[in-house]
Each structure stands twice: as structure tokens, then as C-alpha cells.
């Protein structure tokens, strides 16, 4: 059974654990409301990089070019 402390990956780990417990990926996906493709993506990510690979990495750096000059912003 896989354990994770972060709330971000809780539902993803829950899906993997449920499938392991039920021994049926299709039923676990139906219960959780996710596709089997999603399950296999999560499973591949865990096999490649561990539980840390499930953390969302869509946090982008801000684009400084889109910022207004400080003087204009203060006005």
C-alpha cells in the first residue's frame, strides 16, 4: 500500500490503493469516477519517480514581461 502525506496527491494515491485492494482496475476507476487511462498514467508516474512524481508540476514562474512598470502601477 502506498502512503502520501500531501493533500495534492491524496486522491491519486487513493485510486491506486483502491485498485490494489479490489484487484480490479476498472471497478476502482468507476468508483472514483476516473478513467483507466488516468489510473495507468498515475501508476506509471509512481513506478518512474515514486509518490513525488504525482505532485502537480504546473506551477509556472511569473512572466516578468507581462508586468507593468512600478511607477505606472503605483499611479
Q: How far is CA 20 from CA 2, 11, 35, 57, 59, in A?
A: 10, 14, 16, 26, 30
Q: How many helices (H) and strands (E) does the chain have?
A: 4, 0
On the CB side of 30, CA atoms within 13 Å amount to 5
Grid coordinates in use for 48? 518512474
pLDDT at 54: 82
Domains of the chain: total = 1
* Measured CA angle at 5 (ends 8, 3), to 5 deg: 105
Whether the per-residue pLDDT at 39 is higher than 90: the answer is yes
Answer for the pair 34, 10: CB distance below 8 angstroms, yes or no: no
Range of the domain at 10: 3-66+70-74
pLDDT tens by residue, 42-65: 999 999 988 888 876 666 677 777
User: Chain-wide mean pLDDT for the chain?
Assistant: 83
Amino acid at each position: 500500500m502506498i502512503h502520501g502525506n500531501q493533500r495534492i496527491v491524496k486522491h491519486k494515491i487513493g485510486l491506486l490503493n483502491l485498485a490494489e485492494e479490489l484487484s480490479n482496475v476498472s471497478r476502482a476507476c468507476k468508483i472514483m469516477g476516473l478513467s483507466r487511462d488516468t489510473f495507468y498514467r498515475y501508476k506509471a508516474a509512481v513506478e518512474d519517480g515514486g509518490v513525488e512524481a504525482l505532485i502537480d508540476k504546473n506551477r509556472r514562474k511569473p512572466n516578468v514581461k507581462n508586468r507593468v512598470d512600478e511607477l505606472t502601477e503605483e499611479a
